[in-house]
Chain A
Amino acid sequence: MILQMNGIKKSFGDLEVLKDISMHVDSGEVVSVIGPSGSGKSTLLRCATFLETIDAGDISYMGRSAVTTNANGVATYVHHAELSQIKRYFGLVFQQFNLFPHYSVLKNIMDAPVHVQKRHKEEVRAEAMELLRKMNLENRADAYPCQLSGGQQQRVAIARALALKPEILFFDEPTSALDPELTGEVLKVIRQLAEEKMTMVVVTHEMPFARAVSNRVIFMDKGVIVEEGDPEQVFGDPTQERTIQFLRNYQR
């Protein structure tokens, strides 16, 4: 098991955004998270990637515990050095790409492996070029993010995350900031990663994509997991009223 989250609770002030969420991700699995706006999907990913601290619950990666909650309900994160180690297990692709604008495409991809993981530069360069080929961007290595389309930027962002060789990759609505005609090229890349058995959790509003690519679908609403299962079951034969409502609104 790559990721295990148990009883996650998270509030912003009085607003309870995650109410006792539990989920797990196995190696090679592609899990889609769907749900209405404000249901807590982004918050769930941000808690899983430690961008937000949880109020209660347990999170572990590869069997290594990152945060635990004791009997008194106090969540405690492991010390900094251990947490840094655990952070290496995952990557995150943002809705807004968040590439570094002052770095070229190649440097965006190479910089963290070289300066964070302290790996050999030439080896990293070869891998980065290989990733760019995979993203169909091998001729844009020297371009700067501002010179690329949104779809190209997002593919660079995916390559940047993959260059660190994470065990699991999270995507938060990777195509929501893109013009409709550009979503296809990004989804294609994610689909290709799924075929290579990359473990992924994808928050998305692209229902046909979620149905086609995932091994499991999680439907969230108002901070709880309402329904979870095989995509054909969740999309084709949902059991919960809220899921049916949500999917009906989507068909329009």
Chain B
Amino acid sequence: MTDEKMVLMANQIASFFGTQPGGDQAAGVAAHLKDFWEPRMIAQLKDYLAGGGANLNPLVVEAGESL
């Protein structure tokens, strides 16, 4: 998958959890990613984060730490 598409998908997830009440929004993103993203996709996201994670929603960046 292109990084662009991955960023879009991850940010969409973050946008949802970003609107949810409570302080565990990044945890929500991380849990969602773990439940629904296949290891290859998670690996791609981690690589991308390692490379700076440009354009990623901060919640994704935060979630990335627990992946």
Co-complex (A, B): no
Interface residues of A (CB under 8 A from B): none
